[in-house]
Structures are given as structure tokens and as C-alpha cells.
Structure 1
Amino acid sequence: MKITGAKAVIKALEKEGVEYIFGYPGGAILPVYDELNTSTLKHVLVRHEQGAAHAASGYSRVTGKVGVCLSTSGPGATNLITGIATAYMDSIPMVAITGQVSTNVIGHDVFQEVDITGATDPFTKNNYLVKKVEDLPRILKEAFHIATTGRPGPVLIDIPKDIQMAELDFLYPEKANLLGYKPTYKGHPRQIKKAVEAIMSSDKPMIIVGGGGVMSDVKEEIIELAERIDAPVATTMMGISAFPASHRLYLGMLGGDHGVFAAKKAIEEADLLIVMGARMADRSTGKTEEFAKRAQVIHIDVDPAEIGKNILIDIPIVGELKQVLKDMLKKDFSKNNPTWCQQSEEWKQVINGVGEKVEGLNPMVIIKSLSDQANKNTIIATDVGQHQLWVGRYYAFEKPRTFLTSGGLGTMGYGLPAAIGAKLGKQDQEVVLVTGDGSFQMNLTEMATAVQEGLTIKIIILNNSCLGMVRELQQHYCEERYNQVAMKGNPDFCQLAKAYGFKAKRVNKPDEIEESIKELLSEEGSFVMEFQICDSANVIPKEGGCLR
């Protein structure tokens, strides 16, 4: 029995176990949308295609499944680009499907035509322009396989409208056959042996966990290794939640400028680093020539391109993190480092934070109050800016996949659609977005999507009426010459939230913080809580810098 290409797309998604599609319709993708009418797939209509990609990413982050987003050609496809690049930088499995103009007019600059495969080639694991309807089943199977294997990431499929309307005999492959694509999962035994020998000869070992530690679900393996060798553990921003914050060996978030004091001091003193599933990019290392100068480095990663790309490596291990750690832990080794652990514990007592001299509401106090009161299963999403770093530094995450943020690309506007995707993926868990007044305005229209889907999303806006991260950078590096950072046209966020059907409250007194957080978390419906924080509050404390 013959079916259309559009029907084949839907049947393939159903066979891959897709539950939600996040998208926005248009002429070039209309045949696929028409087939959704008789499908079991649930489509979520976002208010901007970028929101579709971020929602698919948030859904993937909390479930471990592939996120799927759908758009029309031209501007619909280009609006997905930022979300696709965000997923690529953070290794999130995603399949993006775009409509395209008919094959006979491609290259003629017709209405809503754009070369989306060319545009996304640098930041997708693979992409396809479908030229024959018979290729659709194979391409869809390959796309899901590529997105989820090796180092995860986004794959784009661009489908011309005439291909969607053409007919084929549908037979979906049981597996993908990709010559030359064979990710390495099992670490080399000789390299694992070298790593164990290096651990046994070290006096000050330290573990660094990146986003791969979350995606690979290796919490128990990391805990076992850390406890066996008395190694303190720090995470990159993307690695937050891979290791429980309450554990005695956890130091906190690593970062050249923005990491916590204990993690930075341990890096300076360690004689061995065990890096797991981390790119070790500049935000984690700071100046690479100053990074971990005393330490040998073991780097475990499924992507060989990341090993040695940013820092010098002594013992590389290419392989899937969970498999490598399981093989490593089969070895009979352990080591006690009581002096090193005691020193790390002393560093943890140093809180190099926002400080107590901030006028008005202290964001550190707000985040700590949220952390103290929220259930440990609560999923926290952030946008990008100072609030993101305050959450990374002061919120104590206990369970994997409970922290969503744009780490690699640093995408403002990521938070709200990601929170929506997360809530659909984990409907029994509370989802709280922490955002700033600048980031929130990037995709605030997705509040309508939350209302449309009947989702309960809690939103904390840390409103300093400025682009706080840029202001802080101008304070430090531009001798306080502030330019284009004051957000003078901000709306009344509480009135705006109410217009969308959210409850809302503004907080501007320090003694109201604790009770207001309690009210936010106990509210049954969606709630926007706006905290009017001081515009001079910094991630890296420094006197002055107030815009008032």
C-alpha cells in the first residue's frame, strides 16, 4: 500500500516512540501537518520557532529521549537555527524537520526559500535535503540513530513540499546502516590501566564532571570512584546535577571567573585531574596556560575531537563514560587522602559570593532560599546572564537532569520554552524558571504556550532593569563606561503575566524573600514572582557600578 511522504514522516516518528512534537505550521510543511490530524503524536504549538527548538531541547534534557521540532521553510527554518546551535553546543539529541519549496524550484529564490542545510551544516551532527520520497524512511531512521549515538546532538531533515506529497511503499528499517559511522564506546584497556596507575600515584586527585556526566547517567559510578580515592568533585556548568551537592566531596561549579572558590583552589593544588564528559572550554578553565599547572590530566570522552582540544592531556580515554567508568571500577584499587579532603572542606567554607553589602534584595539570598525550600526533584531552568551563574553557584542540586541551561552557546531566551518542554517530559515534577528581565523578554510569548497546554510553570524574574552580565563586564573591563545596558522600557512584568493568565507578585523587601518563595512553590497554578534586585549586584563582587 502506497502512502505519501508526509504520512511516512508521521509513521516514522510514531515508530521511533516520539510523544511530543514542538512546532509552528506554514505552507511548505502543510502536508505533514495535515497528516498529524490522524496521528497519536501530540503537537505543541509554540509562539516562535526558536521556542520549538528550545522546548524540544528541554524535553530531551529531562527525559533522555530525542526532542523533535517542526517548522516551515524560509523564516520558519531560520528561526530554528539558534535553538539547533544551542542543542549542538550542549550535546542534546534532537531531530529538526523543516519544510522546503518544491524540488523543481530550489535555487530560484522563490517565496520562503532558504538553504537551511547549508546554513546549519556547521552545527548539526548531520543534515539531509530529501530529494527522493523513497529515501525518507532510511533518512529518518539514520537521523534518530545519529542524534542519539556517540556524542548526542541535533540532526536536521529538510523535506521539499513535492516530496511530502509524493507516494512510496513504506517500509521502515529496523536499524541504520551507516558506513564509517562507528562511535567508540569501550575505552582501551591499556589507557584505563594507565589511568588507574596515575590515580594510585597521586596525592591530590580531583574529578571534573561535564555535561556528559548528566547525559550518561553516571551519578552512582562517579560517587563510587570519588569515595574510593577520596577525590573532591567539581562540575562544569553543564555538569551541574551529575553529582549531589550534599555529598561531602562536592566542591561546586568550576569556572575561570565565575566558579566557586573551593573548585578554583582545588584546581590550583591538584596533582591529578580526572575529566569526564567535558569540553573544558574557556568558561570552565579561564586562561588555559594557568589552568591546573601542577596536575596530570586524564580525559574521558566519547568524542575524540574534544580530548586535548582546549587543555593538554596526559592520558586520553575515548569511550562512552558509563562504560569506561564501569570498566575502571572493576579494577581493585582505592586510596585514602584525608589531608587533601580536609583542605578541600576548608575551602568550601569560603563563600566568595554576592556579599552582604548589596542594596535591597540580595540575589544570593533569593537563590539559596529557593534551594532550601524546593523539593529535590524540582527542575530548575535558567536563561543566560547573572541569574544563571547565581543559580550555578548557590543552588544545591541533588538529582541528575534537574538543571537546564544553555551552557555552550549562552542563549538568552532559552529558559521559558525549555521549561515548557521539561514540564511536558516530567509532568509529575515541579518546574521553576529563574530568569532576568533581559532574557525573559526574548521569548516571553511562550507563556501563551504554557497556558494553552495547561502547564504549571513557576517563574522567578530577578529584575535589575539592566543587562546585568554586560553591565558587570563593562564595570570590570571598560572602567565603568556603561553603554546600552539600561533596560528603560521594561514592562510591568506582573501585569503582563496576568494578561497571559499567570498569577503574579512583586517583591522588593528583603524580609519578604523567604515567605514569597514559599508562596511561589505552594501555588497550584502558574506564577510569576518578580524580585526587584539591586542593579549593582555582581557575580564577581566589586564595589561601585550602580546605574542609578
Structure 2
Amino acid sequence: MLLKGASILVECLKEQKVDTVFGYPGGAVLEIYDELYKHQSEIRHILTCHEQGAAHAADGYARATGKTGVCIATSGPGATNLVTGIATAYMDSVPMVAITGNVAVSLLGKDSFQEVDIAGVTMPITKHNFIVKRVEDLADTIRRAFQIAQSDRPGPVLVDIPKDVTIKKAEYERQEPASISPMTEYISESALDEAVKMIRSARQPFLYVGGGAVISGANQEIVRFSEKLKIPVGSSLMGLGGFPGDHPNFTGMIGMHGTKVSNVCVTHCDLLIVAGARFSDRVVSNVSTFAKHAKILHLDVDAAEVDKNVMTAHHVIGDLNATFKALNERLQDFTIDNGGWLRAVQENKKKYPLRIVEDGRLHADYILRSIYEIAGDDAILTTEVGQHQMWTALYYPVRKPRTLITSGGLGTMGYGFGAAMGAQLGRPDKRVFNIAGDGSFRMNLNELATAVHYQIPMIQVVMNNQTLGMVRQWQTLFYEQRYSQTNLDDRGPDFMKLADAFGLPAFHVTTPEEVRPAIEAALRESGPVMIVCDVPKDDKVFPMVAPGASIEEVMLDED
């Protein structure tokens, strides 16, 4: 049938079973928004207060559901306002399709009103991007964008559509979405045999899981692998949930703010099995001392990550779930002789527990443990970036994949609120808590209006210490307490009055006794809620590894 470009776009979104898009209209996308109006019973559009909020919401929706998130913005500043959200998704391998409008094809490259070469701007932060100059190419481009976003290692794809392409007509014929198969063609018998040989010869193996464990859905096979071979398991920030956080074999996060147990395991293991992780500098710290006694076996879907940051002894390239299934089959009759190693790890867990402060004051660890005890597996946590993010990673036992959503690679302050909206809309069966510091929360608090308008029942928790806490921590430890531009105590806002202005209920928590009643009351609300928690300004995140130090040289609170 003969359809306008805007109609073709919406039909293609329906082909891909898109049920929710996030965006902000403007002149270059008016035709698209007119079509969305006609199809509002099939595709729900969430109007955010800012395009960055739309990108983060699409990201959170994707991470919580495993589907591809979609956001839309107009040309020029609308498109550039998506950039931080696209980069966030790129760094954490999140499937997203960002659709931007642009000036007419004849005006491209002429510095026209609200024109930006958004394809050029986003080239380094997208898995692929397109500018569609012919309406005849639009349908196939949209289909290809979704396939690229979801396949192999996922990531964001941008499709830039000039306005006249949305107006012109072309023939459209509906197609079923192409199936996305796990990447297994490079998982060779020889690669698996060598991996099995390394595992069989190890006496002190340690498994380090990254975000790929969550993305691939390999968590059950990884648990089977760990339990069968009695292998302790640590995680990157992005890997939390890829292995149950309350499992006896789990040692916690690795790296700069990793647990002492995990960091000691990496340093003293004789085989480090790395599953779906990229050896981030926040994990590795000093490369020359990282896993210095170990052979490294790298399992990953992306060959570009092998030997990029850390040299490995062997690798298997392919879908992690398929790789662990194959390894488990080959090792089903093997019993590893590492009981002494596992016992030593368990002893270290007792020797180096995370410190729980009980001095009568309100601290973040108590708030997070209370959320877990009350909401448990019915909750999804999103976070902003800073101390509260690390406290969440350390003290909240993430048991299931896709229940902790955070900006790991880019470290985007202001990410969490939009992500929480997207996650809550994508998973209405869960309650979403966004854990924020007051500094991060101030970055995108305008989206409170979005949550209230759509009555998104997310719970915003503000750890209010009246400072940019993580930066202050570094200033305390390494800059002789010169607190340059990190104090927020005289800058406001009054968060309780702010909640009232936006029209959502709020609870002000100042003592440990007030925490549980506030959480329970928030869970009874049918719309968005804010809980403002006053925590001490000089609470710090420990463990911590100083810059340039070995990850074994962990500073604990008593240090």
C-alpha cells in the first residue's frame, strides 16, 4: 500500500511490537507525531520534560524488559539532548533505537534552522546510525536498526529522518521481524576443549561475571557451573544480578569499590574466568598487578574486547549462555579438587564482612537493607551515580538479572529517574525504587512532572547528605579536605516542598526508626512517591582502592 514516510515508520514500530515510546515533539517530527496520535491505542507515547529523560527512560525500559527501547526527538537541540542518553546506552550495551527528525534533504549541510549532523555527532557512541534520504529506504532501515540494536552485543542505533521523507509516499508491505539468534558460530570445539583443559587443571579458580551475563540470560547456567565446580564468583557493577547476590559462592563486587574478598580472590587465583566483562579500569586498577598469579580465560560475545585492556591466555567468542551450556556439558563428570580454596574464600568472607554502622544515626546501608527486606524480589532498583550507587551495589543483594539498573560505563548523573520511569512502565508487575544522591537528583528532577502526570508508581529515594558525596570523599582522602564546589547545604531545594509543588506524596526520614514505615507507606501508594533520607555528610564508601594501587590494597573503613 502507498503510505507517507511517517506512516511507514509507525507501521514498522508496530511490526517490531513496540508498545511504548518516549519523546518530545518539534517541527521536524510533526508528521511522525501526527501518526502517533492516530495510533495511540497501539503505541503509548510518554512525553518527558526533556529529551535526555526520554533517552534514559528508553534505556531503563530496555534493561528491565530485555526488549529494545525507543525514543524520539526533533532536529537540532532535540537531537543533541539525546546524546548523553545514547552514550550511556552505548557504554552499557543497551538495545535502543533513537529516532530523530532533521531538516529537509535539500537543506542538509546548509546550517539551516535547527539543523545538526546528528549522525556525525553520534557516530562514536552508537552501534550504527543512519540518515534516511529516500522514503523508499525507510522501512528497511527501521527494520535493520532494530536488528542491529538487538543482535550479538546489543547497543543503541540512531535513525535520522529528514522532514520531507516523513511526508513523501512509498509502497509499504508489512513484514514479520527477523528472528534474532544468539551468536554461536565462533564457539568452536577446539576453543571449548582448551577452555575445559584450563578449568580441569586449575586448583584456585575464580569466576568474574560482567554485564554480558545479564544481557545473555546466562545466569542459570553460570549458577550451575559455579555450584558443580565449587567456584567462587565475583561481579562487576554491571554484572550484579548475573549471579545471585545471596548465594554462598558469591563474594561481591570486584575493583575500586569491590569487596576485600573479591579483590583478594582475583589476586590469588590461578585461573580467572571472565564472563561478559571488559576489564574496565574501575575493576582492574593497576594492570601490572591484576590477577598476577592467574591464567585468564575470557568468555565474551565481542571479539574486540579480547586483549584490549588485559592480555588473556585463551578466549571463547560467542553467546555466553550457549558457551556455559557447552562447558557444563563437557564438565558434567568432572569434580574439581579445590575444597581448600573455597574454604579459604569462605573464611575471608567471615574475616572481611561489609561494615554495618549502628550508632543510632541514619545510614545508607540500613535504608538499602530495609528496602530489600520489605520489597525483596518484587523490586527493581535504579540508581543515579555517586556514593549512593556504590552503597547500593555493596549492600543490596541483587538476586535476579535486570533488577539493578545503573549507569556503569559512562557514570551518568541524572540517569536514574528517567531509567526508573522506563523500567516501571516496562515492568508494571514490579515496584521500582530510584536510589539517588541529592546532587544527582537535582540534575533531572524536572521529570517528577512526567511521573506525576502519568501516575508512574515509582518510588524516589533521595540520600540527602547536602554534598556531592563521592567527589567530597576524594577531596577528603586525596585533596587535604579542600571541598571545592561540593557543598550543597545552602543551595536547596527543600525536597519536601518540591514534592508538594509537583503534586506527589513525600516522606522525610531522619532516624532509622522512620525508615520501614516510610517504605511501607510508599508501597501502598498507587502513583509516584518520594522518600527523603537525611544521611551524614561525611559517610564514605568503603572498601576503596586508591588510584594506581593494586586491587588487593583495599582501604577498609578502619584504615
Q: Which category describes the TM-score, using the shorter chain as reference length?
A: over 0.9
Residue 492 of structure 1, CA deviation = 0.7
> Which residue pairs with 2:453 in the alignment?
452
- Do 2:206 and 2:273's aligned partners in 1 also have CA atoms closer than 8 Å? yes
Structure-1 separation of matches of 2:527 and 2:69: 26
Matched, 1:117 2:116: no
Cα distance per residue 1:98-128 (max 9 Å; x no partner): 0000111111111100010000000101101
> Which residue pairs with 1:69 in the alignment?
71
> Which residue pairs with 1:370 in the alignment?
371
Of 449-458 and 363-372, more deviation after overlay is shown by 363-372
- Do 1:261 and 1:350's aligned partners in 2 also have CA atoms closer than 8 Å? no
Matched, 1:398 2:402: no
Matched, 1:91 2:90: no
Cα distance per residue 1:253-289 (max 9 Å; x no partner): 112x211121111111111111111111011122111
Matched, 1:27 2:27: yes
Residue 523 of structure 1, CA deviation = 4.2
* Runs of 5+ unmatched residues, structure 1: none
- Do 1:138 and 1:176's aligned partners in 2 also have CA atoms closer than 8 Å? no
Structure-2 separation of matches of 1:189 and 1:522: 54
CA 1:407–1:275: 2 relative to 1, 3 Å: same
Cα distance per residue 1:221-258 (max 9 Å; x no partner): 00110011110011100010111112110111112x21
Structure-2 separation of matches of 1:535 and 1:14: 49
Structure-1 separation of matches of 2:123 and 2:84: 13
Structure-2 separation of matches of 1:323 and 1:286: 30
Structure-2 separation of matches of 1:248 and 1:356: 23
Amino acid at match of 1:437: D
Within 5 Å, give how 1:487-502 maps onto structure 2: 487=488, 488-502=490-504
> Which residue pairs with 2:240 in the alignment?
240
> Which residue pairs with 2:317 in the alignment?
318
- Do 2:15 and 2:177's aligned partners in 1 also have CA atoms closer than 8 Å? no
Cα distance per residue 1:109-154 (max 9 Å; x no partner): 1110001000000010110111111000111111011000111000
CA 1:135–1:182: 2 relative to 1, 3 Å: farther
Structure-1 separation of matches of 2:387 and 2:425: 27
Amino acid at match of 1:217: G
Structure-1 separation of matches of 2:184 and 2:435: 37
Cα distance per residue 1:480-524 (max 9 Å; x no partner): 211010113121111111222221111122333344334334444
Does the residue aligned with 1:540 lie in a helix, a strand or coil?
Answer: coil
Amino acid at match of 1:468: G
- Do 1:377 and 1:402's aligned partners in 2 also have CA atoms closer than 8 Å? no
Within 5 Å, give how 1:177-326 maps onto structure 2: 185-255=185-255, 257-326=256-325
- Do 2:151 and 2:182's aligned partners in 1 also have CA atoms closer than 8 Å? no
CA 1:523–1:452: 2 relative to 1, 3 Å: closer
CA 1:175–1:459: 2 relative to 1, 3 Å: closer
- Do 1:230 and 1:336's aligned partners in 2 also have CA atoms closer than 8 Å? no
Amino acid at match of 2:196: V
Does the residue aligned with 1:57 lie in a helix, a strand or coil?
Answer: helix
Structure-2 separation of matches of 1:233 and 1:461: 31
- Do 2:16 and 2:177's aligned partners in 1 also have CA atoms closer than 8 Å? no
- Do 2:184 and 2:322's aligned partners in 1 also have CA atoms closer than 8 Å? no
Structure-2 separation of matches of 1:359 and 1:483: 30
Matched, 1:484 2:488: no
> Which residue pairs with 2:433 in the alignment?
432
- Do 1:93 and 1:153's aligned partners in 2 also have CA atoms closer than 8 Å? yes
Amino acid at match of 2:242: A
- Do 2:131 and 2:161's aligned partners in 1 also have CA atoms closer than 8 Å? yes
Cα distance per residue 1:452-484 (max 9 Å; x no partner): 222111111101101001111111221221101
- Do 1:384 and 1:406's aligned partners in 2 also have CA atoms closer than 8 Å? yes
Structure-2 separation of matches of 1:139 and 1:529: 44
Structure-1 separation of matches of 2:173 and 2:359: 64
- Do 1:229 and 1:335's aligned partners in 2 also have CA atoms closer than 8 Å? yes
Does the residue aligned with 2:443 lie in a helix, a strand or coil?
Answer: coil
- Do 1:464 and 1:535's aligned partners in 2 also have CA atoms closer than 8 Å? yes
* Partner of residue 506 from structure 2, selected from 485, 504, 528: 504
- Do 1:185 and 1:323's aligned partners in 2 also have CA atoms closer than 8 Å? no
> Which residue pairs with 1:340 in the alignment?
341
Residue 354 of structure 1, CA deviation = 5.9
Of 245-254 and 94-103, more deviation after overlay is shown by 245-254
TM-score normalised according to structure 1 size: 0.95
Amino acid at match of 1:41: I
Structure-2 separation of matches of 1:388 and 1:195: 35
- Do 1:185 and 1:302's aligned partners in 2 also have CA atoms closer than 8 Å? no
CA 1:430–1:64: 2 relative to 1, 3 Å: same
* Runs of 5+ unmatched residues, structure 2: 545-554
Structure-1 separation of matches of 2:538 and 2:399: 31
Of 198-207 and 342-351, more deviation after overlay is shown by 342-351
Structure-2 separation of matches of 1:532 and 1:34: 46
CA 1:372–1:350: 2 relative to 1, 3 Å: farther
Amino acid at match of 2:367: I
Structure-2 separation of matches of 1:32 and 1:253: 44
- Do 2:15 and 2:175's aligned partners in 1 also have CA atoms closer than 8 Å? no
Of 395-404 and 76-85, more deviation after overlay is shown by 395-404
CA 1:156–1:28: 2 relative to 1, 3 Å: same
Of 330-339 and 44-53, more deviation after overlay is shown by 330-339
TM-score normalised according to structure 2 size: 0.93
- Do 2:235 and 2:254's aligned partners in 1 also have CA atoms closer than 8 Å? yes
Does the residue aligned with 1:43 lie in a helix, a strand or coil?
Answer: strand
What is the number of residues matched between the two proteins? 541
> Which residue pairs with 1:151 in the alignment?
153
Q: Percent identity among equivalent residues?
A: 44
Amino acid at match of 2:453: Q
Amino acid at match of 2:263: K
Does the residue aligned with 1:28 lie in a helix, a strand or coil?
Answer: helix
Structure-1 separation of matches of 2:143 and 2:335: 44
Of 112-121 and 510-519, more deviation after overlay is shown by 510-519
Matched, 1:81 2:71: no
Does the residue aligned with 2:277 lie in a helix, a strand or coil?
Answer: coil
Cα distance per residue 1:285-320 (max 9 Å; x no partner): 221112111111111111101111111111111101
Does the residue aligned with 2:461 lie in a helix, a strand or coil?
Answer: strand
Does the residue aligned with 1:330 lie in a helix, a strand or coil?
Answer: helix
- Do 1:66 and 1:93's aligned partners in 2 also have CA atoms closer than 8 Å? yes
